[in-house]
Amino acid sequence: MIVLETGGRIMKHATAWGLKFSLGAPLAAVLAGGLAFAPRAGAADDYPGRPIRMLVGFSAGGATDLSARMIALQLSERLGQSVVVENRPGAGGSIAASAVAKASADGYTLLYTSAAHAINAALYKSLPFDPVADFQPITTVTTTLNALIAHPSLPVRGAAEFIAYAKASPGGVSMASTGIGSSSHMAQVLFTSMAGIQVNHVPYKGTGEAIRDIVSGEVKVTIDAVTAYLPYLRNGSLKVVCLGDVRRSALLPDAPTCDETGLPGYAVRSWQGVLTTANVPRNVVDRLNREINAILKSPETIRQMQAAGARPLGGTPEEYAAIIKQDIAKLKELVSLAGIQPQ
């Protein structure tokens, strides 16, 4: 999860609630500290000399898996070697991450992951790997637009109207998430803390279950990545109250942002990216980074991602490393704010 352009407003709202945390540090400030990538001796000039595995910590057919397969197919063509996607679902992506952390440091085992990588670091005291030290970032791939999404019967449009509605509702508003500690839940915690409201959190076992009950009206609202909700938004079964960004989206041009409608600075996007094992030779890292960034600049890739509610991102390994570290720190604060005890 990337929390963007929140500035000092979170501190203002947090202080009002007796909380002490800051979530708005600019990425440039993180990068200013410098990040070192350990060089590793050894010849890797012939890379890749054999097929590459790309592990995905989620089931086939999901958003992360589909993005991974799109990247793997084009990466295979550019490298002249097969990039084979292997699904290792379970434990919020930690099973696949553990396998990559323990793999040989040769660049032949990649991890296509999501913000769950940072969330797990905040949710668990002990993991079978270090989410930072055991991995070499390659690049971010996409960021996904989040939104406050509601049943059409909810009589609000924009953040201010929803906040007023929540404050006036006896017993509070029930808000779905895709699970305790999920990106959806963390986006919800950030929204409610900034808005100074309380909601009744209703965690589900994934997006499908949450959508079912929101469409039926059993639960009226959620905050989540828009990708899986697009068919329902387009046919009128659901509506966007406001987008979790500081600028409007061409994907949903009529939807206002939370920032412009009463919650200044609220902006949350989920990310996906590619990691490999720590200490992979830098020339291998650079080759993978260069090829994936080229893929992300392809007009067809941009079209496909935008149609799914995502935005190609790309960047350097150092920038991705900074995002991961920054998000882990922010998410630990949000986990504490949500009253979740790390296991």
The tens digit of pLDDT for each residue in 13-33 reads 332 222 323 333 333 333 333
Q: Percent of the chain having pLDDT more than 90?
A: 68
Q: How confident is the model at residue 14, as a pLDDT?
A: 35
Using one digit for the tens of pLDDT, what is the confidence trace for 179-205? 888 889 999 999 999 999 999 999 998
Domain borders along the chain are 8-25+145-267, 27-144+269-337
**What is the pLDDT at residue 13?**
37
Average confidence (pLDDT) over 266-274: 92
CATH superfamily of 8-25+145-267: Periplasmic binding protein-like II (3.40.190.10)
Please tell me if the domain spanning 8-25+145-267 has the same topology as the one spanning 27-144+269-337.
yes
- pLDDT, position 2: 59
Long-range contacts of 126-130 (CB under 8 A, 24+ apart): 127/94, 127/97, 127/98, 128/94, 128/98, 128/101, 129/94, 129/97, 129/98, 129/101, 129/102, 130/101
The mean per-residue pLDDT over the stretch 229-235 comes to 94
177 has a pLDDT exceeding 50 = yes
In 3D space, the residue among 114, 115, 118 whose CA is nearest the CA of residue 131 turns out to be 118
Predicted pLDDT at 100: 98
Amino acid at 42: G
- The pTM (predicted TM-score) of the whole model is 0.79
The size of the chain, in residues, is 343
Report d(CA 158, CA 163) in Å as an integer. Answer: 9
The mean pLDDT value for 237-250 works out to: 94
| Choice among 77-81, 183-187, 241-245 with the minimum mean pLDDT | 183-187
CATH superfamily membership of 27-144+269-337 = Bordetella uptake gene, domain 1 (3.40.190.150)
Q: Residue for token digits 């406001």?
A: 242
pLDDT in tens, 116-164: 999 999 999 899 999 999 999 999 999 988 999 999 999 999 999 999 9
CB atoms within 10 A of CB 37: 15
